[in-house]
Structures are given as structure tokens and as C-alpha cells.
Amino acid sequence: MMDSGLVHEAMVYSIERMKKDYILLSMKIEKKPAFKPGQFMMIQVSDSYDPLLLRPFSILDEHDNIYRFLIKVVGRGTRLIADFKYGRRLSLTGPFGNGFPVNMKSGAIIAAGGVGIASVFSFVKLLHEERIPYELIYGARTADELVLLDLLKPYNLVITTDDGTMGHHGVLTDILKTRVKHHHTIFACGPMPMLKTVKDIAIRQKAACYLSLEARMACGFGVCLGCTFFDTKGHTKRVCKDGPVFRAEEVSFGE
């Protein structure tokens, strides 16, 4: 059974429609749950049993009990969220997951591809506030898919686009391989092909590396086993309970 302390009643505070099917959802939670960067919450999308399952979203940040979530509208559940109105009350569960470890011996390089920026945003804020050296590399296929740019202005940001419409012309990992050294720690979230390349770069540079994985989830706390995968040693791992952040050497990409 889930700890009752992980169930929260929340109110829709605002929804900001952004470009390229992204929305910024703000929820007010009265009993503020503490969270670590990289953790996520499960959001109720309907008052009925259709759809039944809550949806997982990374916690972008929190201020004055207002929790924000960056959501890409891609299916029925996220379309329902996009239609939320101010004042609507619903349930959230969490925070879940292990979050990013802040234990690097030297500087950090954060690689965010597409909607992966949502998972690393609060981590970047923490590093910035703690004055821990870092660099954020944020990439997308085209400039229209880059979001949160106003919020990212204070941070040490490098932008890449596959088509060259903003920032460096090329894929994110092309820039990453020129920046990372063996004393860096890499933290990454994005599409699986990107994460595989990030892992390969980390191995070649002998750099510590952590990958935040995305997966379909039904519960968020390890009971349903809907987000399991086999690690490099053949052991079963649950993205929600054992992750979503894993050491790169644990994650198998079919090697």
C-alpha cells in the first residue's frame, strides 16, 4: 500500500500554453511535499475512471507551495490536462523516485534533449544556487521545440538544434563530446538514442554518468511492475522505484 503521506489534494493554479504542444501546469499543494531534483509526481487526469491511471511528470520546480510541471501534449491523458481550468481540484501522488545525486567531485555537465529539460531543470537551479560548477547543454530538433528559454537565461546554457535554427548546428551529443573531461560528472535526460550516445561518450572519457529514464507507469511506487527493464547484469529494475536516475553502466541499450 502507498504511504498516505504521498497522496495530496491540489488545485490547478494556472496553465500556460507554450509552443509546439507544450504546456506549463502549475498546481497549488497546501501541505508542501519536499522533493529532490529529478523526482516526479503522478497527476490525476480525470474525475472518472476513464482514463483510470494517473500520469507521471517530473517536478519542474516549486515556490510558495506552487509546483510546476512541463508537459508535452501527446495523447489522451495529456490532452485532458491541457483542458484543466483554474480552481479545479484533483489528486497528486508522490514525490517518487531517487532524484539526481549531488556528489560530483568536480564540475557537472547536464545534457537535456527535448522534454528532458523538465527532469533536469530543478537540478540545474540547485547547482547554480550552490555555486557548483556546471554547464547545461539543451538540444532539440529545431528552435520551435526549445521551451523554457526565458527561465533558463540565468544559467550556464549551451543550445543546440539539429537543423541549426538556434544555437550550435548539430545534435546535442556532438557538443557534449567536446566539453566533457574525465573529471566531469554527466547527468542526462532525453530520448533513448541520445542517452545511449551519452553513455558511450562517458565510457570513452572515463567520466561518471547518470541517466534519467522515462517510462510508462501505472502506480509510480514499484508495485505494478509496468516500468521494468533488465539492466546490464540481467537484473530487473523498476524505473519508478529504483530510478528514474541510474548510473549509466547499469542501463542496457542492447549491448
The identity of residue 253, as a single letter, is F
CA separation for the pair 43, 92 (Å, rounded): 5
DSSP strand E in the chain: where? 7-17, 22-29, 40-43, 55-58, 61-63, 66-72, 89-96, 108-113, 134-140, 157-161, 168-169, 185-189, 208-212, 228-230, 236-238, 245-247
Q: Is the bond preceding residue 244 a cis peptide, omega within 30 degrees?
A: yes
Domain encompassing residue 91: 4-95
Predicted pLDDT at 29? 94
Cis peptide leading into residue 95 (ω within 30°): yes
What's the CA gap between 183 and 84, in Å, rounded? 45
195-219: pLDDT as tens digits: 999 999 999 999 999 999 988 776 7
| pLDDT tops 80 at residue 1 | no
Kindly report the CATH number assigned to the domain that includes residue 84. Answer: 2.40.30.10
Shared domain check, 87 and 179 = no
- Mapping DSSP to helix (H, G, I), strand (E, B) and coil, where does residue 147 land? coil
pLDDT at 63 over 90: yes
Say whether both 190 and 70 belong to one domain: no
Same domain, 71 and 144: no
Number of domains in the chain: 2
* Residue 239 located in a structural domain: yes
Question: What's the pLDDT at 76?
Answer: 87
Alpha-carbon distance of 245 to 98, in angstroms, equals 7
Contact predicate 96/71, CB 8 Å: no
Inside any domain, residue 102 = no
Task: Give residue 241's pLDDT band: very low, low, confident or very high (50, 70, 90).
Answer: confident
Do 84 and 120 fall within a single domain? no
Residues 53, 120, single domain; the answer is no
3-state SS, residue 232? coil
* CATH number of the domain where residue 177 is located: 3.40.50.80
77 and 117 share one domain:
no
Question: Quick one: which of 132, 123, 125 has its CA closest to 244?
Answer: 123
Q: How much is the average pLDDT of 41-66?
A: 84
- How confident is the model over 155-175, as a mean pLDDT? 96
Please, are residues 100 and 110 in contact by the beta-carbon 8 Å criterion? no
Same domain for 119 and 89: no
Between the alpha carbon of residue 22 and those of residues 74, 146, 168, 193, 195, the distances in Å are 9, 10, 23, 22, 22
Amino acid (1-letter code) at residue 45 = V
Domain boundary among 95, 122, 145: 95
- Give every CB contact of residue 45 below 8 A, 6+ residues apart in sequence: 51, 54, 55, 77, 78, 80, 81
Compute the distance between CA of residue 91 and CA of residue 45 in angstroms, rounded to an integer: 9
Is the same domain home to 30 and 131?
A: no
Residues 246 and 131 reside in one and the same domain: yes
Is residue 2 pLDDT above 60, yes or no? no
> Does the residue 101 lie in any domain?
no
* Claim to verify: residue 90 and residue 141 sit in the same structural domain: no
Residues 132 and 68 in one domain: no
Same domain (yes/no): 37, 156: no
pLDDT at res. 155: 95
The arithmetic mean of pLDDT across residues 95-104, rounded, is: 88
Q: Is residue 255 part of a domain?
A: no
The domain boundary, picked from 95, 121, 154, lies at: 95
pLDDT tens, position by position, 136-161: 999 999 999 999 999 999 999 999 99
Q: What is the DSSP letter of 222?
A: S
User: Cell numbers at residue 154, please?
Assistant: 540565468
Mean pLDDT estimate for the chain = 90
